[in-house]
Amino acid sequence: MYLDHNVTEFILLGLTQDPVKKKIVFITCLLLYLGTLLGNSLIIATIKTSRALGSPMYFFLFHLSLSDTCFSLTIAPRMIVDNLFKSSTITFNECIIQVFTFHFFGCLEIFILILMAADRYVAICKPLHYMTIMNRRVCTVLVTVAWVGSCVHSLTQIFLTLSLPFCGPNVIDHYFCDLQPLLKLACADTYLVNLLLVSNSGAICTVSFVMLMFSYVIILHSLRNHSAEGRKKALSTCISHIIVVILFFGPCIFIYTRPATTFPMDKLIAVFYTLGTPLLNPLIYTLRNAEVKNAMKKLWSKKLVSDDKR
């Protein structure tokens, strides 16, 4: 569909146009999204109410769950609802807002994962100075910097996108507004802007992934000097973090570090990190962490006792 005037809305093709498949996608995505909300809300509530989870690691985990919740919130609800209709449209302004929030919370998750790796490095490699280095004030400043840095990243993406004219066509072959499918619709040469956008997102993904994996190699190497019990506990925590890092960064690097091309599999890969990772994070952290599981049991026991008193 070509427009003679500036584009005011976009048509999202979604994951599929088949009515039967749309119903399957609707049910599957709804269950994944509800699981994401339940899992992350439980972690947020547990950390907020439990005195036992007052260490910096759980402070960062709280913000990771918060960013996961907001990250899925930017994509999932609209995607789920769109599968109930034959066609779906999104206004230009809503599209730009979605791009901003998607990249903002995605980038925030990357920065929080880096902070969690730094926290584990100090805890394992410099245990005697841990509480001095990673005090509450330092952690608060680091998280604030992560939020501000994510905002700067997303604003850069948006300003570059808005510098291009959109006059038609207006059909986006995706289930949400993202930069690469959006820039394909611009009525101008997008090579330079695309290069800057890919360099921005691609550099953040790749450099962060290399930094994280390098830090965990150092941490795992230093575990040789720890006791068997300490080594087991630290190893369990680190493995949880490494799994999260690989699951999140693998698809992101595939999407954002290549030239301005799109593949049919891009949409399915995007499902993995927009819906899959926010769901898996709470599962990975709770199933492999005894402290979180115990705190959740206490929280649930308190709730049952308070309900019985009523």
Residue 58 structural domain: 9-300
Q: Give which of 10, 39, 25 is closest to 279, Cα–Cα.
A: 39
* Residue 93: both structure tokens together: 């302004």
Task: Please report, for the domain that includes residue 170, its CATH number.
Answer: 1.20.1070.10
- What local confidence, expressed as pLDDT, does residue 266 receive? 80
Sequence-separated (6 or more) residues with CB below 8 Å from residue 202: 253, 256, 257, 258
In a domain, 216, yes or no: yes
Is 191 domain-assigned?
yes
Tell me if 186 is assigned to some domain: yes
Work out the burial of residue 298: count CB atoms within 10 Å of its CB; fewer than 13 is exposed, 13-18 middle, 19 or more buried: middle
Predicted local distance difference test score (pLDDT) of residue 35: 92
Q: What is the pTM of this model?
A: 0.86
Asked if residue 90 belongs to a domain, the reply is yes
Each residue of 58-70: pLDDT tens digit? 899 899 999 999 9
Does residue 308 lie within any of the structural domains?
A: no
- Give the sign of the dihedral formed by CA 43, CA 49, CA 54, CA 56: positive
Lowest mean pLDDT segment, chosen from 3-7, 55-59, 112-116: 3-7
- How far is it, in rounded angstroms, from Cα 243 to Cα 97? 30
For 251, residues 6+ apart whose C-beta sits below 8 A from its C-beta are 269, 270, 272, 273
pLDDT digits (tens, 9 = 90+) for 81-133: 988 887 788 998 899 999 999 999 999 999 999 998 899 888 888 888 888 88
269 within 8 A of 251, measured Cβ to Cβ: yes
- 3 domain residue, yes or no: no
Give the chain's domain count.
1
pLDDT digits (tens, 9 = 90+) for 255-291: 887 766 666 678 888 888 888 888 888 888 776 667 7
Classify the C-alpha dihedral 172-173-175-178 as positive or negative.
Answer: negative
Strand partners, 115: none
Domain assignment present for residue 310? The answer is no
Tell me: the pLDDT tens digits for 197-254? 777 888 888 889 998 888 888 888 887 777 777 777 777 777 877 888 888 888 888 8
> Is 309 a member of any domain?
no
Using one digit for the tens of pLDDT, what is the confidence trace for 135-147?
999 999 999 999 9
